[in-house]
Amino acid sequence: MEYSNTKLIVLSILSLLIIGLAIFTGKATYRRLKNFSHLVTASTQFAEADPLNIIKKIIPENPIILEAGARWGEDTIRMSKMWPHGLIYAFEPLPSSISTLKENIKDYENILFYPLALNDVSGQATFYVSTNNPGGSTLNKPTGSIVQIYFTEQKSIIVPCITLDDWATANHVSHIDFMWLDMEGHELTVLKSVKSNILDQVKAIYMEVTFSKDWENMSDFNEIQSWMKQHDFRQIYYLEQCPKHQANVIYSRV
């Protein structure tokens, strides 16, 4: 089929537009990543890998794993299967998730469940429930734009909580190899509260980080990066979930 001059011109223009769009998108992505260059190397060698496969190279075949924010147990079960000779301590305080979680993990002997929230004090605390996304519930009071996204209906409950030190002492846990923390901005509060040496043997920590303070008294990415560096952890994995807002990160001592 022969094309007329007009068709050829149109095709040429379209081609140029596509190429221009590709270049612009690439530059825009670069600019976005460059904006966070002071926080993180945007694309590490592990950026597209399954985080558990990365962790598997770091921790022993029979690890002690602590998971805070187990929700329904999806990741808990994945870790149980990946480390059948390990032991997973799973924490989840939200009553509406507990029954489903217990049902899902009942056949996994290497999972021990605690209906508690890890906190910087033991006792009871106010827990802010996200009616839009229960996985976004947290001990920190929501503020700003996150209220319109996850907390359109204000709801809070009282949940039992415990410090990592008190829990470890009560359950005779002397070390942890890996921590999976999904606590909606409360991760660093818990880590900072540890007074014992329970963290000394932690080889890796996986956590969700946020670039803006959407909850009261939460730590942002800068603060987390600083604390991790001070405690000899280095970042080996980074994957943005929500551009310029939220990412998943692995820190390792290995």
- In whole angstroms, what is the distance from residue 104 CA to residue 83 CA? 17
- In whole angstroms, what is the distance from residue 89 CA to residue 149 CA? 30
Is pLDDT at 116 greater than 60 in this prediction? Answer: yes
| Nearest one of 208, 169, 231 to 68, comparing CA atoms | 208
Give me the pLDDT at residue 148, please: 65
Supply 171's token pair.
């359950």
CA 63 to chain CA centroid, nearest Å? 20
- In whole angstroms, what is the distance from residue 170 CA to residue 176 CA? 15
96 three-class SS: helix
Cβ 112 vs Cβ 87: under 8 Å? yes
Give me the pLDDT at residue 86, please: 98
Span 99-108, pLDDT tens digits: 999 999 999 9
Span 125-138, pLDDT tens digits: 999 888 777 777 88
Is pLDDT at 241 greater than 90 in this prediction? Answer: no
Span 170-225, pLDDT tens digits: 999 999 999 999 998 899 999 999 999 999 999 999 998 888 777 677 788 889 99
Give me the pLDDT at residue 132, please: 73
- In whole angstroms, what is the distance from residue 111 CA to residue 79 CA? 9
Position 218, amino acid: M
Q: Average the pLDDT over each of 56-60, 189-193, 212-216, 239-243 and give the range with the smallest value.
A: 212-216
Give, for 28, the enclosing helix (H) or strand (E). helix 5-35
Cβ 150 vs Cβ 142: under 8 Å? yes
- With pLDDT > 70 as the criterion, what percentage of the chain qualifies? 76
- In whole angstroms, what is the distance from residue 175 CA to residue 252 CA? 16
| Nearest one of 93, 84, 46 to 65, comparing CA atoms | 84
Confidence (pTM)? 0.78
